[in-house]
Amino acid sequence: MRKLAIVFCVWGSVSVVCADVVTYSGPLTATRDQFNADSDGLALLEDFESFGGGQAVGDMPGNGARFAEEYADGSSAPLPIIQATFAAPSGSQWMQNFGNGRPAFSSWVIRPDDPGDLIYAFGQVNAQGDWVRIEGFDADDNLIVSVDAQPILCFAGFIVREGVSKVVVTPLGNFDGLNGMDDVQISTQEINLCDVDLNCDGNLDFFDVSAFIAAYNAMDPRADFTGDGEFDFFDVSAYIAQYNAGCP
């Protein structure tokens, strides 16, 4: 049994982790498997296979989210459309970011179906050999999380404790600005991230203790385990007690 007697981010092969935000960007299978494990299977899949080529898509019936009729700056935009292609990572179609009046380099904007909901987990397969940036924003349009997706069969996404109101996926720059998005996974249900597993790797160990000490010394709110706005012995004691109790 682990016992603790007495912030940093850990870079792993699959994810970059910072307490209340976990980001993913890496090889398709391994990265998606980790994302699914961390999200407790709550991130539901839309694979676009129920749509026809050239069909405009707003609602994604496979999950609780939709493509919004807006560009990244909030201005009005036509809905994105399906592209039927043999090159899709899975199935035979993906969501393209151009066409239907949308120019190359257009961003996708994704929101929950219910405006009162939040997105707690978002993941996607980067369908073409292009780099994209995935960003999550709160209701006041503050940036909460950002992750860059590597090209070619890369799975990328994030899990956030507090949830986000919208996700924006934007090409970072490529030869033609024509991007494909496949296999989108979204959860609008809150996901339980263990408070004491500060690097969110599923283990309680020295790295979590180091993260707590760094956060405590920096007076980072993540180390305020009593929630009283102070950083003192009581926070250390509360952390030790929760650490020894383990994660649910």
Q: How far apart are the C-alpha atoms of 189 and 64, rounded to whole Å? A: 9
2.60.120, 1.10.3470, 3.40.50, 1.20.1070: CATH of 21-187: 2.60.120
| Section 196-220 average pLDDT | 81
Q: Which of 11-20, 75-84, 159-168, 187-196 has the lowest mean pLDDT?
A: 11-20
Q: How far apart are the C-alpha atoms of 25 and 212, rounded to whole Å? A: 25
Q: pLDDT of 85-107, one tens digit each?
A: 988 888 999 999 999 999 999 99
Confidence of residue 8 (pLDDT cuts 50, 70, 90): very low
Specify the pLDDT at position 224: 85
Residue ranges of domains in the chain: 21-187, 194-245
If you ran DSSP here, which 8-state letter would residue 78 be given? Answer: P
The CA-based dihedral angle spanning residues 156, 162, 168, 174, taken in that order and rounded to the nearest 10 degrees: -30
Backbone phi, then psi, for 142, in 5-degree steps? -85, 135
